[in-house]
Each structure stands twice: as C-alpha cells, then as structure tokens.
Amino acid sequence: MSAPQTSVRTAHKPCFKHSLHEILKKRELGLKSYVGCEDDIIAKLYSSMERYELDTKSNRANTHGGIFNLEFSLDGKLLVAACERNCVLIYDSSTQKLIKWMEKAHDNCVNCVRFLDDRQFATCSDDNTIKLWDTRNLSSETKTLHGHSNWVKNIEYSERDNVMVTSAFDGSIYAWDLKSPTENSMLYDKVFLMNGLMRTKLSPDGSKMVISTTSGYMIIVHDLNLATLANDFRSFKPVLYRLMQMSGQSFPAGTIFNYLFLPTRRRNRVEFIDDFMIDAEVISSLQIHPHGWNAVSRSLSSCEAEEATCVHDIQKRDLFQYENCENYYVDEGENSQNSDSDESNTNPRPTDLWMGYISNYQYTSDSGLIGRNSYTDYFQQHPEERNKVIVNLPRLTHYIKEGNAGRGFIKELCYSPDGRVICSPYYKGIRLLGFSENYQELTYCVPDKPRQLTTLLEMNDYHSQIVVSCKFNPRDLMLVSGCLDGDIVWYKPVL
C-alpha cells in the first residue's frame, strides 16, 4: 500500500520533543507524559497522512459523474457519496470497497447526504426532493419529501429537536418534524425565506444556525428556536437590511427589525458577518467547527476571479464588546426620508434605491412587509429606532487564498473530528490547514487579529480532475476526497 510516486507533496514539518517510539515507551513504563505530548502525537499522525493505493474503482466508475458530497455514518463504518448523475454510492470504510450502487436514487444530481441516526440517512437533489433511506434495506427509499420548488442543496439535523432542516435555491429553509410522519410524507414548516440563500448549517448542539448567501455576507441566528423561527422572522428581509448597512441609508422596512439584532435578545437573535479576506460575493460552502466555536467557508469574488477560505468566530460576545465596537450608527441627514421632522412634511416616497428594492412589495400588509400605518405606530412608540442601523462586529480570525480552479463547482470543505485541522479541496488534490504550525487546538492559539491559516500538508495530483468534496471519518483517523471524474481517494497515517 505504498503512495504513488507521481504525487506532489509539501508539508510543514512540526518540531517534536520526542519521537513516537519514545512517547509510547514512556507510556508503557507508566511515566508521566510531558506538557504538549498529546499535541505531538496528533501532529505526528496528521503529518503522516498519505493515500492508500487500493482498487476502489468499479467497472462502472465513469457513469456516476462527479462526487459532490461525502458523508460517513455516525459510527464511521460506512461512507456514502452523492454523485452528479443521480447516483448514491455506499462503501465499507474498513475495506474501502463499494458495497452498494444506487443508480437511480434521484431524478437529477444528488447534492448532499446526511445521517440522521445509526441507520437512517437523507439525500437531497436537484429534482427538488429529499429522500430518506434505511441502511438495512436499500432497495428503495423509505420516504420522498416534497416541498421545495428548486434545487435542494443542504440537509442538517437538530438532535435536540429531532428536526431535519433543509435549504434550497428557492430561498426557503424547511424544518421537517421527524416525530410526526404522515402516511405519505412528513409535517414541515417553512421557517425562513430570503433572497440569495446558499447554505444553511446548524451548530452541533443545535443552538445556532449559520446561513451563507450569494451577496457577500453570512447570517448567524443565536439561541436558535426552530419552533418560533418562522413567526420571529416573519416579514424580515435580510437583503434589505444589508443594503441599508452598505449604503448608509435607513428605511422603515428595515429599521423596524432592529430588535432582532439586540445583544440582549434571548431567542433567535440575528447577527451578520461581512468581513472576508477577499471582496466576497458568493459564500459557496460552509461548515461548523465540531465544538461550535467557528465557521469555515469558501468564498468567491465577483466573476469567480478569486477564491478564499475564511474562518469566522460565531460564539456569543459580551455586551460590552458590542458597545465598544459602536454597534449602532444614526443617519440624521437633512434629506433623510426618515428624519425626525414633522411627519406631514416628510416625503412618503422612498429614495430610488429603496423604491427599486420594494417595487414588488409596495407598502401593503399582505405583501410580506408591514403596512405604512404599522410603521408610523411603531416609530411613534420607538423613536430611537427610526434612523438606527446596526453595524456588524468583526469576526474574521483566519484566512487563506485558494486555487481558482473548477469554476462553477462548489468545493466542500470539512473539519477533522477534533477540530484541529481543516481539509480543503485544492486543484487535483487537497490541503490540510491548521490554526498553528503544531496542529494545536484553536483555544491555545487564538489570534489577536486575523491571520493566515497554516498549510500543514499539501497533496496534489492524487486525482485526475478537480477535487470538489472531502470528509474526515468521525471515529477513525481516515480522510476521503472526491473529484469531478468520479474517483474517491482514501487517506490514512502511514508511520
């Protein structure tokens, strides 16, 4: 099982106090380990990751198309691959052998796989559906879920609520109640609707929802409550609020939702993230740290000219941090349509910028926006909110520029189970990125200001085409990557 001789491999070599043999010998003798011993062991293992030369190809390998998503079962024994040409592949991770080929799992590209428990997993597709499967009987799906009206790109699962969350290019986020299945489908709620929705992720404990967009910003929903999210976010237009932030103009249809951003809010509090390494336009892929500390994303600039991986802190901040960062600013210009002058002298027509945005909504209560009279009543009761627009806190902690290859395809990143390493698709291979040169946990190397991620290991030309997906095994130090040509490459430490 030797590595291919044609591979290009560059690694940052960490410094170790003792060899692995010496560490194991001390453990056998019952001697006390030195400070940083665990870090050294983990660094030795990650730095020795190498490809396994196993024959994982099927005689039909070229018929399933690109590997768009990879997911291990919760026990790490199975690997499920979502494929470009309607297929789902299932591998035994202990032998790396293909054990099931589901040729017509969907009627279009399969985009995402998510295990809900030890046996059940869900897939979603460009055929606008979600399907549930049971590994004990894969002859057909157990249920097909309808609701989305466009390509379904993401599946998440909230264990504490027993709710599956899906998002699609129709801009909607659905919450499916797994406790209350109907005869033919499942009960669901449309909990959020917005323009430009790209990806939706939940933190491991289900307390946060992070949303990436096609408009250069992300949304954090703190203290997530899926049961009340639809009602709390009714009529909220994130794109409108983002336009206010960028233009410096306030508008009643946006400022009326300032209360959603208040740091004292205890349920479904909103925060925007807009500090990226590049002038980001599309945040195409998104993953949450295993401990819920941060979010790693792959962003694209306009015309896909540049790509970057960015890490943003998503934890709660103390109240004084919001105050010190001047979290609010007030637009009190003489020409502001929202000035505190006499209401009768205020021009009710918004500026051209806002008129263009709300041309399809107007000022009617049945349009999804609050009616004109409701605005007047609200601001009479809350005059301090009339011209207030909330400014975003800086949350970028780490970044690195990526290879600009495979335009038009989303590259899915992943975290290692311990959260020390980020795996990123990189041309025809992968890169392992870390927060420090010695593979330390983030808590021991929190930067004072944004810094570049460390390239720990780079494995190029291990695939015949551009790599678009990768995944760590949750139970074993194993890594897989998939490319547009349909190949899956397996990696393990080779000591």
260/12 Cα distance (integer angstroms)? 44
> Is residue 214 helix, strand or coil?
coil
Pick the last residue of a domain from 340, 360, 389.
389
In a shared domain, residues 104 and 197:
yes
In a shared domain, residues 208 and 277:
yes
- Give pLDDT tens digits along the chain (495 positions): 444 444 556 566 666 666 666 777 777 777 676 666 777 788 888 988 998 865 455 445 568 899 999 999 999 999 999 999 999 999 999 999 999 999 999 999 999 999 999 999 999 999 999 999 999 999 899 999 999 999 999 999 999 999 999 999 999 999 998 887 665 667 788 999 999 999 999 999 999 999 999 999 999 999 999 999 999 999 899 999 999 999 888 888 888 898 899 888 999 999 999 999 999 999 999 999 999 999 999 999 988 889 999 999 999 988 888 776 545 554 444 334 443 334 333 344 444 444 444 433 333 333 344 444 555 666 667 777 677 888 899 999 999 999 888 888 999 999 999 999 999 999 999 999 999 988 889 988 899 999 999 999 999 889 999 999 999 999 989 999 999 999 999 999 987
Is residue 130 within 8 Å of 145, Cβ to Cβ? Answer: yes
Q: Which residues contact 1 (CB under 8 A, 6 or more apart)?
A: 52, 53, 54, 494
C-alpha dist (Å) from residue 79 to 88, 98, 113, 235, 256: 10, 9, 10, 41, 47
Q: What is the pLDDT of residue 336?
A: 41
Q: Which domain holds residue 95?
A: 63-233+268-328+392-493
Residue 262 covered by a domain: no
Residue 293 covered by a domain: yes
The distance of Cα 341 from the centroid of its chain, to the nearest Å, equals 44
The distance of Cα 130 from the centroid of its chain, to the nearest Å, equals 19
User: Of 393, 419, 402, which is closest to residue 203 (Cα–Cα)?
Assistant: 419
> Is residue 21 helix, strand or coil?
helix
Vertex 258 angle, CA 256 and 264, to 5°: 140
Q: What is the pLDDT of residue 360?
A: 38
212/281 Cα distance (integer angstroms)? 10
In a shared domain, residues 296 and 360:
no
Q: Which residues contact 468 (CB under 8 A, 6 or more apart)?
A: 66, 67, 68, 406, 409, 410, 411, 412, 425, 482, 483, 484
Residue 44 covered by a domain: no
Q: Can you tell me which residue has the tokens 């720990």?
A: 456
In a shared domain, residues 190 and 212:
yes
Q: What are the strands, taking DSSP E only, across 223-374?
A: 269-273, 280-288, 294-301, 307-313, 328-330
Pick the last residue of a domain from 342, 358, 389.
389
9/6 Cα distance (integer angstroms)? 9
In a shared domain, residues 120 and 147:
yes
What pTM, to 2 d.p., does this model score?
0.86
Residue 42 covered by a domain: no
Residue 48 covered by a domain: no
In a shared domain, residues 155 and 194:
yes
Q: What is the pLDDT of residue 321?
A: 80
242/263 Cα distance (integer angstroms)? 18
Q: What are phi and psi of 375, to 5 degrees?
A: -60, -50
Q: What are phi and psi of 174, to 5 degrees?
A: -110, 140
Q: What are the strands, taking DSSP E only, across 25-96?
A: 49-51, 67-72, 78-83, 88-92
In a shared domain, residues 449 and 485:
yes
Residue 55 covered by a domain: no
Domain count, the chain: 2
Return the H-helix or E-strand segment holding 133. strand 130-134
In the numeric block, which tokens belong to residue 356?
């263009």
293/274 Cα distance (integer angstroms)? 18
211/134 Cα distance (integer angstroms)? 29
The domain that holds 74 is classified in CATH as 2.130.10.10
In a shared domain, residues 352 and 457:
no
Is residue 268 within 8 Å of 229, Cβ to Cβ? Answer: yes
476/469 Cα distance (integer angstroms)? 18
Q: Are strands 451-452 and 396-402 parallel, antiparallel or unpaired?
A: parallel
Q: What is the pLDDT of residue 126?
A: 96
360/261 Cα distance (integer angstroms)? 26
Q: What is the pLDDT of residue 276?
A: 96
Vertex 131 angle, CA 183 and 287, to 5°: 130
In the numeric block, which tokens belong to residue 274?
């807009």
In a shared domain, residues 171 and 213:
yes
Residue 97 covered by a domain: yes
In a shared domain, residues 383 and 412:
no
Please give the single-letter amino acid code of residue 196: G
Residue 338 is classified by DSSP as T
In a shared domain, residues 87 and 221:
yes
User: Of 437, 406, 220, which is closest to residue 307 (Cα–Cα)?
Assistant: 406
User: Of 458, 462, 484, 425, which is closest to residue 46 (Cα–Cα)?
Assistant: 458
C-alpha dist (Å) from residue 456 to 17, 52, 421, 470: 18, 19, 9, 16
3-class secondary structure per residue, 349-361: CCCHHHHHHCCCC
Reported as half-sphere exposure (CB side, CA atoms, 13 A), residue 347 has a value of 8
In a shared domain, residues 288 and 345:
no
Pick the last residue of a domain from 374, 389, 404.
389
Residue 171 covered by a domain: yes
